[in-house]
A and B are shown apart, each in its own frame.
Chain A
């Protein structure tokens, strides 16, 4: 991991759907090594905020910027951000490994891939079609897909959904290791995951 420090800065963010205001004037900034937890009741806009941070959705007002040495243009964000959420569905008709190969940027991550598969306990299922996966296995695959290319920014929407105790264990130990070198933003209502984060925002 190189020593480039990234900054994710949010200024005065607001989002409206048609005419209902979801949230407004959200401002914060996180640097590499920092982590942030977004909490709030259902429907308070956690997922929307994370989508805006990941550059998938445009805010109604305000701005998000991601900067390393210089500002990174939004079209390039997808190379720096690992995002996953309940609506990110891998291809059902591909095996777990084929989905991973579809996301994999270069061959250099082969050893990392093996350790991730072991860590999330998917090694023996990697050649099964995803449609035969259980929902917990699918969630593990989602997490692997998000962190696979070692992005400096991780934006995880409800990462613990459907995971069993072992899965949660693997997730928290992974995040614990990763958070020193990355920016991590989580949306969750799990007290255990909230504790992993340095700071928090409460919506709603």
Chain B
């Protein structure tokens, strides 16, 4: 009994160590090329500034502001979120990773990487957008919560789909095509939640809870499914 306990504790610490080493590796590789982050941040910057420029200082309605914010976030993040898996296939390193680490540790580390990536995009894009488009945030806490929860859900639900798209050969827009329908409700709820933070009326917290529940649920299922996607047959 005590031996079994010790074993599972040991396994747990091995898993945590493996995850940390995967993350260290992913960040090293990413920051030597800076491909995903550069593209995403420049895309976000260009789009935000062009929106502001073409609007010419005229304020948008609240709903439009919130739609634009999420469109910018979504498209900036899309390339980078798939990149973490597509890169392994493109550079032919997936077999190396496959024989070195367990599927669980790989999935969890890629998931954490995507969450951090999404947070970086969120923290760069949101202030930029608020500043250039002239968004008047009334419920600041709810606004921040909505952006965080929406970003979390986007990263959580695209990570398993990125793995699938990468295994399917990562052809062009396949990732966007398969993830957009799953993300549509997330975006929809995020947009109404953010719009709620820009309105005078007291915003509802149900939307944030929905987003967190949805992403938790998808994550739980994808951890179970990942080994089937990742391992060859």
Contact = CB atoms under 8 A, between A and B. Distances in A.
Whether chain A touches chain B in the assembled complex (some CB pair under 8 Å)? yes
Interface of A: 51, 54, 56-58, 75, 78, 83, 85, 87-94, 98, 102-103, 129, 145
Contact of B96 (A51, A54, A57, A89): A89
Contacts of B33: 93
Interface string B1-43: 0000000000000000000010001001100110000000000
Contacts of A90: 93, 96
B54 interface: no
Contacts of B95: 56, 85, 87-89
Best-surrounded residue of B21, B25, B102, B232 (most CB of chain A within 10 A):
B25
A102 B29 contact: no
A75 B230 CA distance: 13
B91 A83 contact: no
B100 A103 contact: yes
A102 to B, nearest CB: 5
A62 B232 CA distance: 17
Nearest to B28: A94
Contacts, number: 51
Q: What secondary structure prevails in chain A residues at the interface with B?
A: loop
Across the A-B interface, give the 6 residue pairs with the lowest CB-CB distance, nearest first.
A89-B92, A93-B32, A93-B29, A88-B96, A58-B233, A87-B95
Given A56-B232, A78-B102, A89-B95, 17 more contacts: A54-B99, A56-B95, A56-B98, A75-B102, A85-B95, A87-B92, A90-B96, A91-B29, A91-B91, A92-B91, A92-B93, A93-B28, A93-B29, A98-B25, A102-B100, A103-B100, A129-B32
B21 A56 contact: no
Contacts of A78: 99-100, 102
Contacts of A83: 99
Contact residues on B (Cβ < 8 Å of other chain), bracket:
10 to 19
A91 B25 contact: yes
A58 B18 CA distance: 25
B106 to A, nearest CB: 12
A89 B91 contact: yes
A129 B98 CA distance: 21
A89 B100 contact: no
Given A57-B232, A57-B233, A91 B93 contact: yes
Contacts of A54: 99
Nearest to B233: A58
Contacts of B98: 56
A60 to B, nearest CB: 10
Contacts of A87: 92, 95
A90 B95 CA distance: 9
B93 A102 contact: no
A56 B25 CA distance: 22
Contacts of B29: 91, 93-94
Contacts of B93: 89-92
Contacts of B91: 89, 91-92
Nearest to A60: B233
A51 B233 CA distance: 10
Nearest to B227: A75
A56 B99 contact: yes
A52 to B, nearest CB: 10
A92 B95 CA distance: 14
16 contacts: A51-B232, A54-B99, A56-B98, A56-B232, A57-B232, A75-B102, A87-B95, A88-B99, A89-B92, A89-B95, A90-B96, A91-B25, A91-B96, A92-B93, A103-B100, A145-B96
A91 B25 CA distance: 9
B228 to A, nearest CB: 12
A87 B25 CA distance: 20
A90 B92 CA distance: 8
A145 B28 CA distance: 19
Contacts of B102: 75, 78
